[in-house]
Amino acid sequence: MPTKTLRIPTTDGQADAFAAFPDRAERHPGVLMYADGFGIRPVLREMARELAGHGYYVLVPNSFYRHGPTPVIELPEYIGEEARPAVFAQLMPLIEAHTAERVLSDADAYLRFLTTQPEVGAGPVAVTGYCIGGLYAMRTAAAHPGQVAAVAGFHSPVSADGPERDRLLERITAEIHLGHAETDVTPEALGELNQALDTAGVSYTSEIYPGTLHGFTMSDTDAFNPAALQHHWDRLLPLLGRTLANSEAERHNK
């Protein structure tokens, strides 16, 4: 599986990024993958390679590049409960500094870069994200409705509050999948969110993954749930197969 470390020109400098794509001399649909708050690390690279194996060019940018290249902060190999307070003490200022304006400015640069790579075919792209990256994915889809055909967020917030959420959803034309952790969303809150999705008129699935904690897809954390990670693939791959026009990718997803 070919991989690259790349530098993406942005209005504020250059964002380092990881890319994975099939080992075939063909063009493939593009997927922009936003990491969780912990950033690009072995588990994210492995997830990108896994997705690329299904026929996609997957680009994972360092969202916090303004503070330095990957790794922006040093992480333990396993991010257990005992390590989290010290890690979050370093991460929260970076997350707070990454405003909606910065997210959208960067999204412009990431999509422009992604769609001009020689391995990426013409046509729509997908955006997926984990934890805070899911919010970045939704904002990207809302800002680029003509270009983003699918968006997925896993154990992630949709937005800070109802009005902001509703303004976001009404601008999205992509098909949406939201996979929530059981500890993140109550059934009542899920009902309110799904009502907002209905009102926005988007095509979507939005569900709580049973027995999950926040961060369930990440194998280097205590929240990891192998069954939920597989469920995530079982939802994500058909979504991409339906929405991204590429017969090679569709064959891989069947």
User: Exposed/middle/buried for 74, CB within 10 Å: 0-12, 13-18, 19+?
Assistant: exposed
Enclosing domain of residue 180? 3-253
Distances (CA, A) of 65 to 71, 87, 103, 135, 204: 9, 17, 12, 18, 32
DSSP 52-86: HTTT-EEEEE-TTGGG-SSSSS---SSB-TTTHHH
**Strand runs labelled E in 72-164:** 125-130, 148-154
Residue 56 belongs to domain with CATH number: 3.40.50.1820
**Strand 57-61 to strand 125-130: parallel, antiparallel, or no bridges (unpaired)?**
unpaired
pLDDT for 251 equals 46
With contact defined as beta carbons under 8 Å apart, do 57 and 6 qualify? no
Distance, in Å, from the CA atom of 222 to the CA atom of 116, rounded to the nearest integer, reads 38
pLDDT for 24 equals 83
Nearby residues of 192 by Cβ (< 8 Å), 6 or more positions away: 162
Q: Kindly report the CA angle at 125 between 121 and 131, in degrees rounded to 5?
A: 140
- Digits of tens for pLDDT over the chain (254 positions)? 899 999 999 999 999 999 999 998 899 999 999 999 999 999 999 999 999 999 999 999 999 999 999 999 999 999 999 999 999 999 999 999 999 999 999 999 999 999 999 999 999 999 999 999 999 999 999 999 999 999 999 999 987 678 889 999 999 999 999 999 999 999 999 999 999 999 999 999 999 999 999 999 999 999 999 999 999 999 999 999 999 975 345 445 44
With contact defined as beta carbons under 8 Å apart, do 61 and 70 qualify? no
The pTM is what?
0.95
Please count the structural domains in the chain. 1
With contact defined as beta carbons under 8 Å apart, do 249 and 241 qualify? yes
